[in-house]
C-alpha cells in the first residue's frame, strides 16, 4: 500500500489555510462586560487580568474602541444585595441603565443581558432561598456586612424553583423593556425558558430572543467570575441546580427541553472540559449553539502565558477555534477584545 503523504497539504502556510476547515470569525465572538455604578470606574478584576469593572460611561467608551464587535453580554453588579434580588429588576437597575446608554450610541450592536440572581442576593444563589421564619435579621436593602457569614441557620438551604421563576421573568421583562435584544438565562431553574418566553410574549416582546444556558455544569472553573460578581454562595453549593459533570445524556435532555420551551439559542458551559457536549448537541439539534469559555478557562491561559503576548494569542486562538470545531456557532470569551484585534 502506498503511504498517504498527508504532510503534502501542510507544506506552506498558504496550503494550510487553503484546506483549513474551521474559521473563527469576528461575528462569532460575544464579549462579556461587568458593569458597576458610579462614574469613571475602571477597575481590573484581580483574578481575571485584562478584565474590568466598568461604570457605564467607561463601558460606552470601551465598546466604541472595539472594532468589529457584534455582540456583548452584560453582567450588572448592584450596589445593594438583598434576600429577593430586587435590584435585578428595579426600574433603575444597573443593567437597564447600561442597555439604554448602549442603545443610544450603538444601534446595531446585539445586546444580551444575563438573567440570574446570584449577583443580586445576599446569599449568592441563582434563585430565591427562603429565610427561616423568625430569623430574618437582614432587612431588605441593607448591605451585606463584611465578614458576616450567612449560614443555613438563617435560611432553608433550598433554592425554590417556582418562586424563582417569577422573579426571573420580571428581570427578563425589565431588560427587554430597556431594549435588550436577547436575555441570557443562567439560573438553571426548571421551566425558566417557558416562564420567560410567556412573560415576554404577553407584554409584546415577541422579538426579544432567548439564549438559554441549557447545559450549565456545576464547575470549579467559575471561581474568578464569582470574585468579579461577588456571587459566591454563602452556604452550600450550586449542585442542586447546575449539572453534574459526570453526565452527558442529561445535557441533551436539558437542551431539548429548552428548545421545546422556546429557546432561540442554547448554550453549553463551560466550554473546554465539555467539548463532547457541544459536539453531541450540534449533531442532534439544529439550533444555534453557543459555548461559554468561562473565567477559570481564561485565567488558566493567562497563567500559562505568563505575560508572553505571543503565547497568549496562540493559546487563546487554539482554544477558541477548538470550541468552534466541536460545533459551537458562537463563543463567549474574555479574550473577545483581543481576538477581534487579531482577526479584524
Ligand atoms: C451564574 C453564572 C455563572 C457564570 C456566569 N453566570 C456561574 C456561577 O457562578 O455559578 C460563570 C461565568 C464564568 O465563570 O466566566 N449566574
**What are the pLDDT digits (tens) for 200-258?**
999 999 999 999 999 999 999 999 999 888 899 988 899 999 999 999 999 999 999 99
- Centre of ligand 1 to C-alpha 23, Å, is 27
Q: How far apart are CA 235 and CA 184, in angstroms?
A: 25
pLDDT band at 329 (very low <50, low <70, confident <90, very high): very high
**Cβ contacts of 317 within 8 Å, gap of 6 or more:** 24, 339, 342
On the question of pLDDT at 15 being above 70, the answer is: yes
Protein residue with least CA distance to atom 3, ligand 1: 222
Asked whether the beta carbons of 121 and 167 are under 8 A apart, the reply is no
On the question of pLDDT at 138 being above 60, the answer is: no
- Residue 103: what pLDDT? 98
Q: Average of pLDDT values for 122-132? A: 89
List, in sequence order, every residue forming a beta bridge with 77; answer none if it has no partner.
36
Q: What percent of the chain has pLDDT over 90?
A: 88
- Residue 154: what pLDDT? 74
The whole-model pTM stands at 0.94
Protein residue with least CA distance to atom 7, ligand 1: 222
pLDDT band at 139 (very low <50, low <70, confident <90, very high): very low
Q: Extract the C-alpha cell encoding 93.
A: 437597575
Q: Average of pLDDT values for 60-87? A: 96
On the question of pLDDT at 133 being above 70, the answer is: no
Q: Which atom of ligand 1 is nearest to the CA of 118?
A: 16
List, in sequence order, every residue forming a beta bridge with 166; answer none if it has no partner.
none
Query: Rounded to 5 degrees, what are φ and ψ at 177?
Result: -65, -30
Angle between helices 192-202 and 161-178 (to 10 degrees): 40
On the question of pLDDT at 136 being above 90, the answer is: no
- Centre of ligand 1 to C-alpha 32, Å, is 11
- Centre of ligand 1 to C-alpha 148, Å, is 23
Q: What angle do CA 278, 315, 309 make, to 5 degrees?
A: 145
- Residue 135: what pLDDT? 52
On the question of pLDDT at 142 being above 50, the answer is: no
- Tell me which of 124-133, 294-303, 334-343 is least confident: 124-133
pLDDT digits (tens, 9 = 90+) for 282-301: 999 999 999 999 999 999 99
C-beta of 231 in contact with ligand 1 (< 6 A): yes
Q: What percent of the chain has pLDDT over 70?
A: 94
Q: How far apart are CA 81 and CA 142, in angstroms?
A: 7
pLDDT band at 143 (very low <50, low <70, confident <90, very high): very low
Residues catalogued as catalytic: 216, 269
Q: Average of pLDDT values for 58-82? A: 97
C-beta of 189 in contact with ligand 1 (< 6 A): no
Q: How far apart are CA 330 and CA 66, in angstroms?
A: 18
- Tell me which of 142-151, 179-188, 232-241, 286-295 is least confident: 142-151
Please report, to the nearest 10 degrees, the dihedral formed by the alpha carbons of residues 87, 90, 92, 94 taken in order. Answer: 40
C-beta of 222 in contact with ligand 1 (< 6 A): yes
On the question of pLDDT at 279 being above 60, the answer is: yes
- Centre of ligand 1 to C-alpha 58, Å, is 23
Whether residue 270 has a cis bond before it, omega within 30° of 0? yes
C-beta of 126 in contact with ligand 1 (< 6 A): yes
Protein residue with least CA distance to atom 1, ligand 1: 186
Query: Rounded to 5 degrees, what are φ and ψ at 61?
Result: -65, -45
- Residue 157: what pLDDT? 80
To test the ligand 1 pocket, which listed residue (172, 225, 268, 272) has its Cβ within 8 A of the most ligand atoms?
225
C-beta of 118 in contact with ligand 1 (< 6 A): yes
Q: Which residues of 292-321 are buried (b: 16+ CB within 10 A; e: fewer)?
A: bbbbbbbbbbbeebeeeeeebbebbbebbb
C-beta of 295 in contact with ligand 1 (< 6 A): yes
Amino acid at each position: 500500500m502506498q503511504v498517504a503523504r498527508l504532510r503534502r497539504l501542510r507544506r506552506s502556510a498558504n496550503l494550510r489555510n487553503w484546506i483549513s476547515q474551521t474559521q473563527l470569525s469576528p461575528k462569532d465572538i460575544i464579549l462579556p462586560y461587568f458593569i458597576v455604578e458610579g462614574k469613571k470606574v475602571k477597575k481590573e478584576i484581580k483574578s481575571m487580568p485584562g478584565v474590568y469593572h466598568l461604570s457605564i460611561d467607561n463601558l460606552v467608551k470601551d465598546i466604541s474602541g472595539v472594532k468589529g464587535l457584534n455582540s456583548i453580554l452584560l453582567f450588572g453588579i448592584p450596589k445593594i444585595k438583598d434576600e429577593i434580588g430586587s435590584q435585578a429588576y428595579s426600574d433603575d437597575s444597573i443593567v437597564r441603565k447600561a442597555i439604554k446608554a448602549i442603545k443610544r450610541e450603538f444601534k446595531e450592536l446585539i445586546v444580551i443581558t444575563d438573567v440570574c440572581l446570584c449577583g443580586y442576593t445576599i446569599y449568592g444563589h441563582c434563585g430565591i432561598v427562603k429565610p427561616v421564619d423568625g430569623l430574618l435579621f437582614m432587612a431588605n436593602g441593607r448591605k451585606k456586612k463584611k465578614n458576616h457569614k450567612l449560614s443555613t441557620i438563617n435560611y432553608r438551604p433550598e433554592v425554590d424553583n417556582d418562586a424563582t421563576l417569577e422573579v426571573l421573568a420580571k428581570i427578563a421583562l425589565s431588560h427587554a423593556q430597556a431594549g435588550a435584544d436577547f436575555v441570557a438565562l443562567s439560573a438553571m431553574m426548571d421551566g425558566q425558558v417557558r416562564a420567560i418566553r410567556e412573560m415576554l410574549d404577553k407584554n409584546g416582546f415577541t422579538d426579544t430572543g432567548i439564549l438559554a444556558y441549557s447545559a450549565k455544569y456545576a464547575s470549579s472553573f467559575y471561581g474568578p467570575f464569582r470574585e468579579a460578581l461577588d456571587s459566591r454562595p454563602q452556604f452550600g453549593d450550586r449542585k442542586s441546580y447546575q449539572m453534574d459533570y459526570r453526565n452527558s445524556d442529561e445535557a441533551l435532555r436539558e437542551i431539548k427541553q429548552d428548545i421545546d420551551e422556546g429557546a432561540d439559542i442554547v448554550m453549553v458551559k463551560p466550554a473546554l472540559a465539555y467539548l463532547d457536549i457541544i459536539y453531541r448537541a450540534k449533531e442532534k439539534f439544529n439550533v444555534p449553539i453557543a459555548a461559554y469559555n468561562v473565567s477559570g478557562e481564561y485565567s488558566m491561559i493567562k497563567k500559562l502565558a505568563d505575560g508572553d503576548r505571543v503565547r497568549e494569542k496562540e493559546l487563546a486562538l487554539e482554544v477558541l477555534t477548538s470550541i468552534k470545531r466541536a460545533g459551537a456557532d458562537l463563543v463567549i470569551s474574555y479574550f473577545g477584545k483581543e481576538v477581534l484585534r487579531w482577526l479584524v
